[in-house]
Amino acid sequence: TSLVVTGIVGIISTFWFFIGGVIDIRRLFRDLAARVDNPLDNGMVEGHVSLADKAVFEQRTHEKQDD
């Protein structure tokens, strides 16, 4: 009896994780297709801030100064 219960739980768990994995893989490829490439986002850090974030901060600072 315990082997039957263990087998049923194993089969249900296998299908549960398989379906979740398929959904996540589809979401991953959809997100990768919609990704916008940022050449500054290469992992480099300057002054404890990434170069991509630094460019955004500088752009916002210039916009505020222009107002």
pLDDT score recorded for residue 15? 98
For the chain, list residues with pLDDT below 70: 67
pLDDT score recorded for residue 67? 67
Strand ranges, E, within 1-67: 45-46, 49-50
Give the pLDDT confidence of 46-58 residue by residue, as tens digits: 888 898 888 888 8
pLDDT score recorded for residue 43? 81
Locate the domains of the chain by residue range: 1-35, 40-67
| pTM of the shown model | 0.57
Q: Which residues contact 47 (CB under 8 A, 6 or more apart)?
A: 54
